[in-house]
Structure 1
Amino acid sequence: MGILRAIGDTVTPLIFLALSAVLNIAGDYICLAVLDMNVEGAAYATLVSQMAAGIACIIYSVKRYECICFTWQQCRVDSVLARSMMSSGFSMGFMNSIVSLGTVSLQGAINTLGDSYIVAHSAARKITELFMMIFSVFGMTMATFCGQNIGAGRTDRVRRGIWHSILISWVWCVMTATAAWLAGPWFIHLVTGSSSDEVLATGALYLRVDTLFYFVPAVIAIIRNAMQGIGDHSTPIISSTIELIGKVLIAIMLVPYLRYTAIIIAEPIVWILMVIPLIVQILRNPALKPE
């Protein structure tokens, strides 16, 4: 699916993902409701649905695009390409690992605050992940888009693409902030089913504060992935390392004194710090300077 996106076909991967989801749902029903296979049945349903969609995608790709077809004589290792792909792959994988470690450090601090805070934060994070999903989508799109256009020598399109993606994501930021401020407690209740004033107020406060700063992670997701697409693999790692260090320090130094307030302000502070090297480097990148 990644290859199809790279050559400009973004619709077909979506169709096969939808096919996989439909097969998974049907498989869950058959395995759980009809065959009574419990958890093992759910695992089989997922495995079969993904394998079926994957095989169908491969067959379609090979038949539809000649550039994807290859012969056994072509199955040899190109050291230059291998180094380039490994550099990009390790960079993106390491970046995501660092981000996850930072999240774990904050979660560990939250677990010391009590059940109400854990429930409220878990619910708020689910809503946050839903709100911020579009940033990840734009980021993945920009990685492919920038790689394609850098390869074609169209740096003007790269600059426009980055700027237009940021503008669109900022419109979404305004919408999510408005939703959080108008219906924050309702979102928390929807996820938790709780009517506790403490849980609803705590989760809503997290949403209302953090959504005001969403324009920063929008820029981070777009620029970080764009830089991966244009071949800068070090700056995104530096930015993610800043995120990890910031979250660990806040978890250790501020949470014991400010309690959940430190958790609320942690991500806005870290976002602002980690976006700085990304903006500086993207502006300095010679490949993106106007001719």
Structure 2
Amino acid sequence: MKQRDLTKGSITGNLMLFALPLMAGNLLQQCYNIADTLIVGRYLGANALAAVGSSYTLMTFLTSILIGMCMGSGAVFSIRFGEQDHKKLKEGILHSFGLIAAMTVVINVLVYAGLPLILKVLQVPAEVVPYMRTYLLVIFAGISATFLYNYFAALLRAVGNSVVPLIFLAASTVLNIVLDLLFVLGFGWGVAGAAGATVLAQFVSGIGITVYTLICFPEFRLSREELHFDKRVLGEIAQLSFLTCLQQSVMNFGILMVQGRVNSFGTAVMAAFAAAVKIDSFAYMPVQDFGNAFSTFIAQNYGAGKEKRISQGIKSAVTAAFVFCLVISAAVCAFAAPLMGIFVNASQTEIISIGVGYLRIEGAFYFGIGLLFLLYGYYRAVKMPGMSVILTILSLGTRVVLAYTLSAVPAIGVTGIWASVPIGWALADIVGVTYYWKKMRRKSELG
């Protein structure tokens, strides 16, 4: 498969061609959990749907630690590729793989040891606990597969190959859906079957992309002489990886805190939130991946020292994100009820009504999160992941505080949780853009 050098050629054309497979890939990745949600919601009932929805939030938070570290490492890989420094690229591969593999083991141990406490902290209703415990015990058996896929996908994307990760993800998504139907409807294994289908599909993509990369990219293979650790290299990888990991974890921890507040409103709100979040994520996921593609573009050009090309790329990316978000916002707001009907039986009118309220509030402001993803990508690519952490804390901190504060007012109730989200996006956007312009002005004055 062809590698794409983003330091040359058409900016908008290359950026879009690189981004499209990422967008398609993450939409497919959403299908993992959407398949579970659709089948569980339709055939196993509201309690099972609530369990899978809450499990997804927890799973996203914990796997975001690994995904964040992979994204941070990917930024280093992109910079080295832009510099054309293959020796340092291989050093980065060695150190980042060892670091993230060790973190994978730690997370697996902590999840299984702390499961009773996790269920208590999340305020899971008693009738949902058995379903959620079963689902989590199975789903986290696949965390090593999640690491393998995201690590090698980050490596391939860093050197301009966004197609191969898409191919492996597509194959495993189809397998996931087939196994969901077989395990849940055919064998009657309930939520354990839904989780097992996802785990097996994840191993197909994780092992498959690992084998492909080692066979088809011999330049990434390490010789015995290269298998030695360097504290300096490990420090650089660790700093960028852990700060990106922190940014991802803070983001998902905030969502997890909100999930706890949602759970306190009962099963109907939990089920509505579970379905609406899948639609919400599916809607803005393409612009999140566009932000990741934008980050690779910035990192490669940052490594190559092409500042003018970076400025031009920023203008193109913001314009494209705005147009996309405008279209998606209109579609989600207009079709909120039919979209909820995909996941929830038409007779569950209360659940559908709650979900529609969520989608119309979130959907009207998608450009807020679209711009935020671009800011995350930019600051990660120019070795300023700490700024991404600050923006995430502002966004999610605002969201959590307002969610708990507003929803405590009887006249506002659960609507306060939904309204807190776009307010958090807006605050982070204002700070991120202001800091960028001040940074540019300072550089202009010094230059």
Same fold (TM over 0.5): yes
SS at match of 1:254: helix
Q: Shift of residue 224 of structure 1?
A: 0.7
Q: Shift of residue 287 of structure 1?
A: 11
Matching residue within 167, 170, 173 for 2:319: 167
Deviation per residue, 1:50-92 (Å, 9 max, x gap):
5554454344434443532331111122322211111111112
Deviation per residue, 1:81-123 (Å, 9 max, x gap):
2111111111121112211221122222223334443333332
Match of 2:436 in 1: 282
Q: 1:28 to 1:106 in 2, by over 3 A?
A: closer
User: Are residue 102 (structure 1) and residue 257 (structure 2) matched?
Assistant: no
CA contact (8 A) 1:180 1:204 kept: no
SS at match of 1:244: helix
Deviation per residue, 1:233-268 (Å, 9 max, x gap):
111111111233212322332211121221221001
- After alignment, is 149-158 or 219-228 more displaced? 149-158
Matching residue within 335, 338, 341 for 1:186: 338
Deviation per residue, 1:18-57 (Å, 9 max, x gap):
33345556677888899x6958887777666555544543
Q: Shift of residue 164 of structure 1?
A: 2.1
SS at match of 1:8: coil
- After alignment, is 256-265 or 278-287 more displaced? 278-287
Equivalent AA in structure 2 for residue 139 of structure 1: G
Q: Shift of residue 216 of structure 1?
A: 0.9
Unpaired runs of 5+ residues, structure 1, are: none
- 1:1-291, aligned counterparts within 5 Å? 1-22=153-174, 50-51=202-203, 53-257=205-409, 258-285=412-439
- After alignment, is 211-220 or 46-55 more displaced? 46-55
Q: 1:262 to 1:17 in 2, by over 3 A?
A: same
CA contact (8 A) 1:117 1:202 kept: yes
Equivalent AA in structure 1 for residue 425 of structure 2: W
SS at match of 2:408: helix
SS at match of 1:76: coil
* Higher RCO (CA-CA < 8 Å; seq separation 6+): 2
Q: 1:75 to 1:27 in 2, by over 3 A?
A: farther
The CA distance in 1 between the partners of 2:249 and 2:169, in whole Å, is 25
SS at match of 2:335: helix
TM-score by length of structure 1 reads 0.84
Q: Shift of residue 227 of structure 1?
A: 0.9
The CA distance in 1 between the partners of 2:261 and 2:399, in whole Å, is 10
RMSD of aligned residue pairs (Cα, Å): 3.1
Q: Shift of residue 177 of structure 1?
A: 2.0
The CA distance in 2 between the partners of 1:268 and 1:33, in whole Å, is 38
- After alignment, is 78-87 or 50-59 more displaced? 50-59
Q: Shift of residue 146 of structure 1?
A: 1.6
CA contact (8 A) 1:24 1:49 kept: yes
Q: 1:37 to 1:265 in 2, by over 3 A?
A: closer
The number of aligned residues is 290
Deviation per residue, 1:106-144 (Å, 9 max, x gap):
222223334443333332222111111112211221222
SS at match of 1:259: coil
CA contact (8 A) 2:362 2:421 kept: yes
- After alignment, is 176-185 or 86-95 more displaced? 176-185
Q: 1:241 to 1:69 in 2, by over 3 A?
A: same
Equivalent AA in structure 2 for residue 280 of structure 1: T
CA contact (8 A) 1:189 1:195 kept: no
CA contact (8 A) 1:105 1:251 kept: no
Identity %: 27
The CA distance in 1 between the partners of 2:256 and 2:266, in whole Å, is 17
